[in-house]
Structure 1
Amino acid sequence: MKIIQRKRGISHPMIRTDFSISQKNEKEFTPGQGYKLALVSLGCDKNRVDSEIMLGSLGQKYQMTEEPMEADIIIVNTCGFIDAAKEESINTILEMARFKTEGSCKLLMATGCLTQRYGEELLGEMPELDVILGVNSYGKLDEYVERFIVDRQRIIDTAWSDVGVNDGRRLLTTNFGSTAYVRIGEGCDNNCTYCIIPKIRGSYRSRSREDILREVETLAKAGVREIIVIAQDITMYGRDTEGRQTLHELLQAMDRVEGIHWIRLMYMYPEGIYEELLQTIAGSPRILNYFDMPIQQISDTVLRRMGRRTSRAAIEGIIGRIRELMSDAVIRTSLITGFPGETEEEFEEMKAWLAQMQLEKVGVFPYSKEEGTPAWHMKGQLKDSVKKKRRGELMLVQQQVSLAKNQAKIGRTYEVLVEGRNEDGFTGRCFEMAPEIDGEVLIRSDKELIAGTFVNVRITDALEYDLIGEIDHESGK
């Protein structure tokens, strides 16, 4: 979707518990009509789950459409994590606002992290918005839509709540319904000095094991083959409710649900990974040996400034233990460069470490200065040009590592989940690839492949991030 390059100023967070009523929308809006609803979801996988809950809640009353031009109600589920995400959210709201004059839109709503953080300012600065809800208001979504249809008055609710997680009805938005994200907790207690999430989402709250397993069983019966377990940090699971880490017990119960073929784990902070968890993963053929660990930095001095409760030695120890238990383990991480005070020596240390460790999947992000975080006030803020240059150097190192690792896979056969097709053939993912972030497998086949099924693919060629292969007829699958 084309994004309008128009900016609005947002200064600082203001969160109030109230409703503000002002101008009326002049378009005709009569209760009881069959309205069409479109939703644009931005940001992370946790936001995607929120969007699916909203669609599940409203989908029984309103007709879903993927065309905003045709929609009577448009919801933008925003992200407010870093500056780039905030700008994308604002621009997307403005893009959707066009359909109030050029299309059928009668109600434009914004939800999510940006609205939780800046709801009052959005109310004042964006008259295009009719309803503004924070991250704790999704349970009142039906009520607020109906209220606006009847009263035609603007609504804002960014009230804070620390209630437990309960995902409710969902309408899946993942490809072909073969993959689904399952959120096991909300909020975060890590309090890294660069991160605003605890102030937006609150402290960590584990979802009940019964609710999670009930959802997994429902998804399995609906034909979902891959479950992706998510939270801000899934290793925290159980600490608040049972006083100890119980992720391994939850996974063991998930592993017993019939119909699920892959269980993928996302967002495991290295300092939270423990031996029982590793043994559970290593002992199950369905829990993938895929470790998504946000390391962010490797210099001990920078890690301390980031507020991370780990060290280079501890991180290397966890990586070593993973590789000792699982020879085919894939480690994905994210790194932040240009953190306040990052010296040339600290950057070179991370660059050399990246080449040394030969990690399978790496994303690198320039530090984003976020108001409301301790790092906002730190001395030694680096120029954007320096941060971008350092990111480029790190990505070049990783690109070479990734290409070499992929080329070593030529001749091997991988189980691949078929997801679609393009002009060159069919596309899918092997266990090493999470959706939308890790590349894909291009499958050459003279027979039609069905999305949502698994096939064995022999790799015949490799690029930096993608693999190319053909059906392995000798595998018997």
Structure 2
Amino acid sequence: MEAAPVQSAQPLNDPPVVSFVSLGCAKNLVDSEMMLGKLAESGAVISGDEALADTVVVNTCGFLEAARREAMEIIRELAERKRAGELRRIVVAGCLVQRDGEAIRQAVPEVDALIGVNNRDDVVRAVWRLDRDASVDRYLGDYHGQPWRDQGRLRLTPRHYAYLRISEGCNQKCTFCTIPSIRGPMHSKTPDEIAGEARELIADGARELLLIGQDTTSYGEDRADSTGLAGLLRRLDADCDGADWIRLMYVYPSVLTDAMIDAIAECERVVKYIDIPLQHI
């Protein structure tokens, strides 16, 4: 499967100077890295100094009330800078946008673009303002079973480790959790796609790969993959020359099987460790 083409960035004479604020979990961080990669490929200038930027992208978390408050506080601070003439564009993306949509702009009218989780690649259109006839750019598509490829990232983690997303969405029905309503049902990448991403991350210097997803233990169930997570761990253990450690995150204990435990015990690169979020216990 070929990567989606990068959108041409023609309407502005000077490239936007973009600063990025990434909030929330490791899955959101991967989305931020993908958006940064797309922006860099489009010709935008990426700046780690927000004071030098004319455009700020905020990739939000919408899971907890505290996270939603944090995101809105940052957006309001950016709005003050825009009113003072220090910023040209404010682009808000991520889970909070998928959850609240237009309500964000009703609260902060200075926001120029809204990007939901299903429209990640539209960040180029939003930052470059390719849809010039729209007073506010809205990219709020419904869930679709898109292939969540995460190659071509501009990484934000230290060079020695990287997050490797194996699936997106969740089929669990926890009453305390809003993630399925935001991220949709589970969609697993194929083992070949994951192995390809792993090789790219290793070539970029990563020595520890952290496997992530809303529910890593259910990996492959949506694809009727009989080997599931255990088979994936064995595949990565065999294929990931150059990686020293493969660490399993976001384990859902009620579906942890003996086959998975055996794979963790027997695979040389797989760390003898599992990460179980407290709300899953």
Question: When the two structures are superposed, what TM-score results if normalisation uses the length of structure 1?
Answer: 0.54
Contact 1:237 1:245 in 2 (8 A): no
What CA distance in whole angstroms lies between the structure 1 residues aligned with 2:25 and 2:254?
Answer: 22
Offset of residue 225 of structure 1: 0.4
Q: Which has the higher contact order (CA 8 A, sep 6+)?
A: 2
What CA distance in whole angstroms lies between the structure 2 residues aligned with 1:184 and 1:288?
Answer: 17
**Partner residue in 2 for 1:52:** 33
| Partner of residue 88 from structure 1, selected from 62, 66, 70 | 70
- Aligned: 1:289 with 2:272: yes
Secondary structure, counterpart of 1:59 in structure 2:
helix
Offset of residue 242 of structure 1: 2.1
- Aligned: 1:135 with 2:120: no
**Partner residue in 1 for 2:88:** 106
What CA distance in whole angstroms lies between the structure 2 residues aligned with 1:34 and 1:183?
Answer: 31
Structure 1 gaps, min length 5: 1-29, 297-333, 336-477
Corresponding letter in the other structure for 1:263? I
Offset of residue 108 of structure 1: 0.3
What CA distance in whole angstroms lies between the structure 2 residues aligned with 1:220 and 1:110?
Answer: 31
Contact 1:204 1:240 in 2 (8 A): yes
Corresponding letter in the other structure for 2:89? L
**Partner residue in 2 for 1:174:** 157
Secondary structure, counterpart of 1:56 in structure 2:
helix
Secondary structure, counterpart of 1:255 in structure 2:
helix
Which has the higher mean CA deviation after the structures are superposed, 287-296 or 129-138?
A: 287-296
Q: Deviations over 1:268-325 (max 9, x none)?
A: 11111111111111112321111112353xxxxxxxxxxxxxxxxxxxxxxxxxxxxx
- Aligned: 1:197 with 2:199: no
Question: When the two structures are superposed, what TM-score results if normalisation uses the length of structure 2?
Answer: 0.90
Contact 1:148 1:154 in 2 (8 A): no
| Partner of residue 221 from structure 2, selected from 239, 248, 252 | 239
What CA distance in whole angstroms lies between the structure 1 residues aligned with 2:131 and 2:143?
Answer: 26
- Aligned: 1:35 with 2:16: yes
The number of residues matched between the two structures is 268
Offset of residue 147 of structure 1: 3.2
Percent identical pairs in the alignment equals: 37
Contact 1:237 1:247 in 2 (8 A): yes
**Partner residue in 2 for 1:392:** none
Offset of residue 243 of structure 1: 4.7
Secondary structure, counterpart of 2:102 in structure 1:
helix
**Partner residue in 2 for 1:270:** 253
**Partner residue in 1 for 2:138:** 156
Q: Deviations over 1:413-446 (max 9, x none)?
A: xxxxxxxxxxxxxxxxxxxxxxxxxxxxxxxxxx
What CA distance in whole angstroms lies between the structure 1 residues aligned with 2:15 and 2:115?
Answer: 23
Structure 2 gaps, min length 5: 1-10
What CA distance in whole angstroms lies between the structure 1 residues aligned with 2:242 and 2:85?
Answer: 43
What CA distance in whole angstroms lies between the structure 1 residues aligned with 2:227 and 2:170?
Answer: 14
**Partner residue in 2 for 1:303:** none
